[in-house]
Amino acid sequence: MDFLRPAGWSEALEAKANHPDATPIAGGTDVMVELNFDHRRPETLLDLTRIEQLREWSRTERNGVPTVRIGAAVPYARLIEELGTTLPGLAMAARTVGSPQIRNRGTLGGNLASASPAGDGHPPLLASNAEIELESVRGSRTLPLADFFTGVKRTDMAPDELIAAVHVPEGTGPQQFSKIGTRNAMVIAVCTFAVALHPRRRGVGTGLGSAAPTPRSATEAEEFLAGALAEDGQWDDPRPLPASVTERFGELVARAAAPIDDVRGTAGYRTHALHVLARRTLSWAWDEYRSGTELSGRQRCA
């Protein structure tokens, strides 16, 4: 096995162009498991850990919206520590990933490239309308995250491309993330749900994980809720949400799922749980919006 260790980004892109079948490795928390289980026998590993710029994040503006550009190799532990208030939904999801060791090593870019339906980073990014920046020696392109996932563990990434960064519009309202697992830590999701309220554009974002072949948004649920909030003048004068609204929202979220039965849970349970999570997370987010907090994630746990 060859082990390529580019010192910089352009060198990495060169290497990937010359070895399109090389497997990039960042935190290695997916790659090493696959090697151990003999699920993958790459001829070449392309180590990304020496590339400084992949481990940086910065605040920018995209199309007039304050946005955080997160380098592909930023680990979960730093998303929690450094972006907990700016991107609360993502930080909440990061907190549920694996164990402290995994959060120290595992990266958002690795999570996206693995494209597991159970990747915990995906739902909050979808709820925030994040975009992904791919680059190769041919140039760079940015596409909505929803277009990036093409199937179970399949993405739109070309063989010579690497993930450079993720662009996440800064939250303007409360965000929540919930994950079902049958143990209280270190568990792969049975299903997940993320919701983000976007008061500035009067919108609602959602993301579902482990609920379909690819992470997806519950578009109908988003539209329903945004409509209901607008209709009742709730954005400007927030009052308790009627049960009929949260209930309907839950129903529509559950309806957006296309889950399967597997060793982690049944399709029926996943649908049920998504309904419950959608209702609960919406009520938490709404309570927070009503209590005037700009952002959620004044975190309950460190």
Partner 1 sequence: MSDTHAPAHRPQDLDDAIAGGVGESPLRPDGTLKVRGDFAYSSDLWAENMLWGATLRSPHPSARIRSVDIGPALRSPGVHAVLTAEDVPGRNLYGLKDIDQPVLAEDVVRYRGEAVALVAADHPETARRALDLIEVDYEVLEPVVDAELAAHDDSLPKVHPGGNTVRYQPIVKGDPEVTADVVVSGTYTVGMQDQAFLGPESGLAIPAEDGGVDLYLATQDLHTDRKQTAAALDLDPELVRMTMSGVGGAFGGREDLSMQVHVCMLALRTGRPVKIVYDREESFFGHVHRHPAKMYYEHGATRDGDLVFVRAQLYFDGGAYASKTPVVVGNGTTLGVGPYDVANVSIQGWGMYTNNPPCGAMRGLGAVQPAFAYESQMDRLAEALDMDPVELRIRNAISRGDTTPTGQVLDYPAPVAELLRRVRELPLPEAPAAGAEPDIRDLPGGASNTTHGEGVVRGVGYGVCIKNICYAEGADDFSTARVRLQNVAGEPLAMVHTAAAEVGQGLVTVQQQIARSELEVERVNIHPNDTSVGPAGSSSASRQTYVTGGAVQAACRAVRERLLAITAERFGEPAAELSLSGGKIVSRESGVLADIAEVLGSEAIEETREYHHRETFPLDERGRSERAQVQHAFSAHRAVVDVDTELGLIKVVQLDCSQDVGKAVNPESVVGQIQGGSAQGLGLAVMEEIQVGEGKIRNPSFTDYLIPTILDMPPMNVDVIERGDPNAPYGVRGVGEPPTISSTPAIVAAIRAATGRDLTHVPVGPEHIIG
111 binds, among ligand FAD, partner 1, none (CB under 5 to 8 A by kind): ligand FAD
Which residues contact residue 35 at a Cβ distance below 8 angstroms, ignoring those fewer than 6 apart?
Answer: 41, 42
Adjacent-strand bridge partners of 25: 47
**Alpha helices for the chain (secondary structure H):** 9-18, 31-36, 76-83, 88-96, 100-105, 108-114, 122-127, 145-148, 219-231, 243-256, 267-290
175 close to 223: Cβ distance less than 8 angstroms: no
Q: What are phi and psi of 195, to 5 degrees?
A: -135, 145
Residue nearest to ligand FAD (CB): 110
Establish if 290 lies at the interface with partner 1 (CB under 8 A): no
Q: Does 155 bind ligand FAD (CB under 6 A)?
A: no
| 107 contacts ligand FAD (rule: CB under 6 A) | yes
> 83 with 153: CB under 8 angstroms?
no
Q: Does 291 bind partner 1 (CB under 8 A)?
A: no
Residue 301: contacted member of partner 1, ligand FAD, none (CB under 5 to 8 Å, by partner type): partner 1
Instruction: Pick the closer one to ligand FAD by CB: 75 or 199.
Output: 75
Sequence-ordered list of residues with C-beta below 8 angstroms from that of 232, at least 6 positions apart, any chain: 239
**Among positions 21, 37, 139, 236, the unique one binding partner 1 when judged by CB under 8 A:** 37
Among 48, 72, 180, 295, binds partner 1 (CB under 8 A): 180
| Among the residue ranges 103-111, 194-202, 232-240, 241-249, the one whose residues contact ligand FAD (CB under 6 A) | 103-111
Q: How far is the CB of 43 from partner 1 (least distance, A)?
A: 13
Dist CA 164 CA 265 (whole Å)? 34
Binding piece for ligand FAD, criterion CB under 6 A, among 82-90, 114-122, 125-133, 195-203: 114-122
Question: CB under 5 to 8 A by kind: which of partner 1, ligand FAD, none does 228 bind?
Answer: none
Closest CA to 186 of 301, 76, 121, 99: 99
Residue 244's binding partner among partner 1, ligand FAD, none (Cβ under 5 to 8 angstroms by kind) is none
Residue from 88, 169, 181, 199 in contact with partner 1 (CB under 8 A)? 181
